[in-house]
Amino acid sequence: MLRKGFCKCFSRDFYTPVILDNLTEASCYYWVHNSLPTAFAWLGSYDPATPVGRYEIDGSGLLAIVSRYRTAPVAEKKWETHRLHGDIQFMVSGSELIGYAPRESLIIRTPYDDGRDAEFYEPPVGVGSSFTLGDGSFAIFLPQDGHQPGIMLGTPAEVHKVVIKFRL
């Protein structure tokens, strides 16, 4: 069960908070960025029948990416960060494991791509943590947050997720 607040991720080398909560508590995080009230309002009225795709949210500069996919083994998923955008990753249905490590602890595999606003990394060794993102929960990732979404919990499973990109 998720509790309001930060997910405290531990490893032997660092401690860092990741914002992880249920959509019902989203207003507690409006302080993170001025576009989050609009983003969370959109998620609050989200129709699960919305087709997979990319949607601009009311001329706000926010981009919602609706996806449905199968989770996969950890070795098949990439570590990433973004420089220009933060992510709200909201799980509509299903559950996945998400890896987390601070960007400064990661080794670059694929240099930053301006067009994708993404940099990819080697899997961290001895650093990092993970948490489960389940039905109705969200995580917020900022540029310093290396993350590895889409990892299966035991066996591959279908998930329905919305990622909202907000410009920093």
Q: Which domains does the chain have, with CATH numbers?
A: 13-167 (2.60.120.370)
pLDDT reading at 3 higher than 50: no
Residues 6+ apart with CB under 8 A from 6: 17, 18, 19, 20
What are the tens digits of pLDDT across the range 52-72? 999 999 888 999 999 999 999
pLDDT reported for residue 4:
46
Yes or no: say if 19 and 27 are a contact pair by the CB < 8 Å rule: no
Average pLDDT score, the chain: 91
Mean pLDDT calculated for residue range 135-145: 96
Query: Cα 1 vs. chain centroid, distance in angstroms?
Result: 18
- Reported pTM: 0.89
